[in-house]
Amino acid sequence: MRRESGEDTVTEKTGGHAVVLGASVAGLLAARVLADHYQRVSVVERDVSPPIGSHRRGVPHGRHLHGLHSRGRRVLEELFEGFTAEMVADGAVTSDVLANTRWQLSGYQLRRAEVGLTGLFSSRPFLEGHIRTRVAALPNVHILEHTDVVSLRAEAGRVTGVRIMPREAGEPGQTLDADLVVDATGRGSRTPLWLEQLGYDRPPVDRLEIGVSYATRTYRLRPGAMGEVSLIVCNATPDNPRSGVMAAVEGHRYILTLVARNGEPAPLDPAAFEEFAAALPFPDIAEAIRDGEPLDSPVPFKFPASVRHRYERLRRLPAGLLVTGDAVCSFNPVYGQGMTVAALEAEVLGRLLSAGGAPQPQRWFAEIAKVVNGPWDGATGADLADPLVPGKRTAKVRLINAYLTRLHAAASTDASLARALIRVLSMTDRPEGLLRPDRMARVLLRRRPASTATTADAPALAGRR
């Protein structure tokens, strides 16, 4: 992959004007890659860019903990040389994703050991702000802020422009001519509607109802409260559907996101928030926030369903239009996959552009389906382990979920299994590697240790089980 573009690479650019819709993580990463291949890249965004680290309206999810898998961090490093060091210099935290973390899965805490993968921990606005600063500095990228994308213009089977409307009262709308349009407007993307209006089919949609609710608070903790770890991931168990994730972020602060499922409301008053934390399967998070100073009130987010638009199944698509990021697939956020998938899609875009100009939409959607398949199957499969999530449980899903519980148990004492699992969870290795015969033997032949999790006893859970 090529490094950040500068004046010296302008002559290599074969495309004219690319327009990206949405300047969040997926849109900015797409713009970064397009800048290597197009004379001009315009990014249209309805928000005004806030200072680095500040929240903005168009990304309400940005208030909640955003883990970046180490694979995603590596792609960012390739796109923006020195990115990790720059984030750390500004206050982000790095650590080994197994040695300096506590992963509590299916009621077992993974054995901690060096795995050699670096996690980069920060708030989401801090990460996005750093990406935006790098992209905005590219000489051929222009971010049009405070501007709504209204519709697409198409002629003779090709998208040729985008209708935009400044949010400033009294400003007239206009059409941007475009050789390529990339929709990165997130989960609320209107491309399915626009396709229909242009005489194409909407893409089929896969949807899994998960009824996830988040509540998030930021803390300053007492010295040593997290021990030597930067991250605690405490996942639900069969007896206790509550999860929580706590991570170090810039400014010597910690973000704690608590997750309720299947319609249970997330705790929004401070006392309920602490009660919920105390009822997690492991006590570590409650212990970490004991005597901590909350810096804000709990903020909510409701995530009813994981949604995947199957663009790759459409037989007819207009040329000149690609879709990326959450606009294609919006995963259960609990698994922290979205930003890394957006980064991998940007990598695919770079590869296809280098191989011969703007990709045909069919080729694009087929290629990114390969990126999305693994994370989608992993996340929806794991969600189906919860008996209250509606959906068909194939024999394969049931078998894999049973195996994963055994694997989590075995990895609580076996460091090499813990490493293999974390390499898959961080999207570095493919999941099939967990089914290698030697690993399966270690998982299945080993006596299963007793779970060290506590079961749920909070009154709110009583009616649910």
Q: Interface residues with ligand FAD (CB under 6 A)?
A: 22-27, 44-47, 58-59, 61, 64-68, 148-149, 184-188, 214, 301, 303, 325-327, 333, 336-340, 342
CB closer to ligand FAD out of 44 and 400: 44
CB closer to ligand FAD out of 26 and 286: 26
Phi, psi of 274, deg, nearest 5: -70, -35
For residue 23, the minimal CB distance to ligand FAD (Å) is 5
In angstroms, rounded to a whole number, what is the distance separating the alpha carbons of residues 199 and 19?
A: 22
**Adjacency order of strands within the sheet including 147-155:** 147-155, 158-166, 174-177
Q: Which of 328, 336, 306, 332 is nearest to 71 (CA)?
A: 336
For residue 402, the minimal CB distance to ligand FAD (Å) is 27
SS3 state of residue 173: coil
List CB contacts of 202: < 8 A, sequence separation 6 or more. Answer: 192, 193, 195, 196
* DSSP label at residue 411: T
CB closer to ligand FAD out of 248 and 443: 248
Q: Which of 164, 156, 129 is nearest to 42 (CA)?
A: 164
Tokens 């950040």 — which residue? 4
For residue 387, the minimal CB distance to ligand FAD (Å) is 24
CB closer to ligand FAD out of 191 and 451: 191
For residue 422, the minimal CB distance to ligand FAD (Å) is 16
Both structure tokens of 369: 């389906």
CB closer to ligand FAD out of 94 and 412: 94
Both structure tokens of 367: 């290629």
For residue 436, the minimal CB distance to ligand FAD (Å) is 27
Q: What is the largest CA-CA distance in the chain?
A: 71
For residue 167, the minimal CB distance to ligand FAD (Å) is 9
Q: For residue 294, give the amino acid letter.
A: P
In angstroms, rounded to a whole number, what is the distance separating the alpha carbons of residues 90 and 121?
A: 12
For residue 257, the minimal CB distance to ligand FAD (Å) is 8
CB closer to ligand FAD out of 43 and 443: 43
Q: Which of 218, 212, 190 is nearest to 203 (CA)?
A: 190
Q: For residue 426, give the amino acid letter.
A: S
For residue 277, the minimal CB distance to ligand FAD (Å) is 18
Both structure tokens of 356: 């011969």
SS3 state of residue 154: strand
Tokens 């991250």 — which residue? 231
Q: Which of 125, 107, 140 is nearest to 38 (CA)?
A: 140
For residue 61, the minimal CB distance to ligand FAD (Å) is 3
CB closer to ligand FAD out of 187 and 406: 187
CB closer to ligand FAD out of 71 and 408: 71
In angstroms, rounded to a whole number, what is the distance separating the alpha carbons of residues 346 and 364?
A: 11
CB closer to ligand FAD out of 241 and 336: 336
CB closer to ligand FAD out of 114 and 171: 171
Give the CA distances from residue 30 to residues 17, 43, 417, in Å, rounded to whole numbers and listed in that order: 14, 10, 35
CB closer to ligand FAD out of 22 and 350: 22
The answer for 243, left when phi > 0, alpha when psi is -120 to 50, beta otherwise, is beta
For residue 148, the minimal CB distance to ligand FAD (Å) is 4
Q: Interhelix angle for 338-356 vs 25-34, to 10°?
A: 20
CB of 373 within 8 A of CB of 381? no
For residue 315, the minimal CB distance to ligand FAD (Å) is 25
Give the CA distances from residue 321 to residues 92, 126, 160, 408, 420, in Å, rounded to whole numbers and listed in that order: 36, 30, 9, 42, 38
